[in-house]
Structure formats: structure tokens, C-alpha cells
Amino acid sequence: MQKKCRNMCIGVFDSGLGGLHILRSIVRTIPQYDYVYLGDTARAPYGHRSQETIYEYTKQAMDFLFSAGCGMVILACNTASSEALRALQEKFGAKQKILGVLIPAAEEAVQKSKNKRVGIIATTSTVASNKFIRELAKLDPDISVFQQECPLLVPLIEEGEHNSRETETILKKYLAPLLHKKIDTLILGCTHYGILENKIRKIIGPDIAIISEARVVPKKLKIYFEKHSELEKTLRKKSIIHFYSTDGTDSFKILGSKIFGRPIEVKKAILV
């Protein structure tokens, strides 16, 4: 079994490398805490899998992170947040906090949208769940929401092809229907897509607001700790980060270091 962190760490889970983009922003905002990152790269992407499979994979990840000494876990994976978060919160209970990234992004979109026309790009599973549509409707029943599934983006990013011409061509194809709907706000509904934000901005122009979880989540997490001081006091504050991957660690280390913005060391994780 993996070595436990003293006291409590903050866990961050994603199906692959995309969550490193969020972790990078979190660490920049609140660097004092200890973190454990887990990427299930051996089974990524999650976007095309059944709800039962997504739940089981994510449950295994939660077991790993809580056994590693995490006091709370952030599901940086939107697919896991949309398909498994509620059930996992019920299973693990109040003492083992699990937070998603979908609701903070929806809240930010409602605040930013001026014409109440919000577009969403996400994985096939997230789009099929209609979770974003329901959350946005709760916040503003008058808002119009347009979704676009983007099944090819996560595999391209996981393979390190996010700077290729092929990726840009695919992005234009995915974004065209949303631009046709005259959206004024675009939610990047998959953690991986934040890595493509500059390319997306180039395609959609300067007038459409982009909701990136890499910017939203750190801000919301900081506020969360201010409101839950009893949890914050249990967190270890030595600025140590542990990285785990369920697949080969060499490729994760190379590409992950680029995404995270500094060299990282990665250990192999076995999920059961």
C-alpha cells in the first residue's frame, strides 16, 4: 500500500493528465497545502464509458486517495463529477469530503453571461448526463444552453498532440455549431480542455467569455476553506505534492511536467 501522508492532504483526481492544469492553478493560489494527484491514465478517457464503469473506476480512485491520507478529494474530472459525484458523496459520508468542479463552473457561467446564451464543450458522457443543463437551469431558468460533445480531444491531449494542426481543425469543427447559436459564454466542460484555451480563444474571438475550471476552482476552493475552518485546520501545510499514475510513469512525467509547469516525479498507482 502507498505511504500515507502525515495529517491530511488535498487529493486531486482526473482520468488522465488534464487535472494537472487545475492542480497547477490551485497550487499557485494556495501553495501552502500538501497535495496528492492521481491520474487514471491506464483507463483514460472516461468520456465514452458507462455510468456504472465510471462510478467503479472513480470509487477505486477515492479509496486510493483516502488511504493515502487525503482529508478531501477534488474530482477534477467532469465526467466523474457528472456521473458519480453524488453517489460517491453518499457512500463515503460527510467525514470524507469529495467535491466536484461542475457546479462552480456553472455558477461562474451564469455570472459572466450577458445574453443568457451559454455553450458547453464536454465529453460524450458529460453531455449525455445533461448535468450542466440542470445546474444552469437551477441557477437561471431563463438561460439557453447549447452542448457539444468532443470525443476526440481528450485522446489527442493524452497523446501530447494538443499543439498539432489536427487538433486545431477538430476544434473548429466542434465549436462551429456553438458559434452559430450566438453564444456569449463558453464552458470548458472537461478538465483537459483548459490546456487548449489559447487555441479556443483564437477560434471564438475576444467577445465570448471562456469559463475555465483552472481559474474557477482555486478561487472557489479558497472560499470553501474560509467557510470550513474546521477542515482547513486538519490539512498539512508543507507544500509537498505527490503524483501518481495508473499507467507508465515515464510518459506521464514528461508530458505532465509540461502541463504542470515544472518537473514532477511520478509513482505507479494500482487501483482495486
- pLDDT tens digit sequence for 244-261: 999 988 999 999 999 999
C-alpha 183/C-alpha 169 separation (Å) is 20
Residue 1 pLDDT class (50, 70, 90 cuts): very low
- Looking at residue 6, its pLDDT comes to 53
Q: Is the pLDDT of residue 7 over 80?
A: no
Q: Grid coordinates in use for 186?
A: 463558453
| pLDDT on residue 249 | 87
pLDDT for 100-110, tens place per residue? 999 999 999 99
Q: Is the pLDDT of residue 3 over 80?
A: no
Do residues 65 and 13 lie in contact, with contact meaning Cβ atoms separated by under 8 Å?
yes
CB 241 within 8 A of CB 27: yes
CATH of domain 9-100+215-268: 3.40.50.1860
Task: Show me where the domains of the chain are located.
Answer: 9-100+215-268, 103-214
Instruction: Point out the residues that are catalytic.
Output: 77, 190
Q: For 211-237, what is each residue's pLDDT tens digit? A: 999 999 999 999 999 999 999 999 999
Average pLDDT over residues 63-82: 96
Considering only 65-79, 157-171, 179-193, which range has the smallest mean pLDDT? 157-171
pLDDT band at 83 (very low <50, low <70, confident <90, very high): very high
pLDDT at 117 over 80: yes
Distance CA 161, CA 192 (A): 12
Phi, psi of 184 (to 5 degrees): -115, -5
Domains 9-100+215-268 and 103-214 equal at CATH topology level: yes
Q: How many degrees, rounded to 5, is the angle at CA 181 between CA 180 and CA 183?
A: 110
- The DSSP bridge partners found for residue 36 are 11, 242
Tell me the one-letter amino acid at 148: Q
**How large is the average pLDDT for residues 40-60?**
95
Q: What is the mean predicted confidence (pLDDT) over 263-267?
A: 97
Report the alpha-carbon distance of residue 27 to residue 34 in Å, rounded.
9
Identify the CATH assignment for 103-214 out of 3.30.450.20, 3.30.590.10, 3.40.50.1860, 1.10.1790.20: 3.40.50.1860
Q: Would you call 184 exposed, middle or buried from its count of C-beta atoms within 10 A (0-12, 13-18, 19+)? A: middle
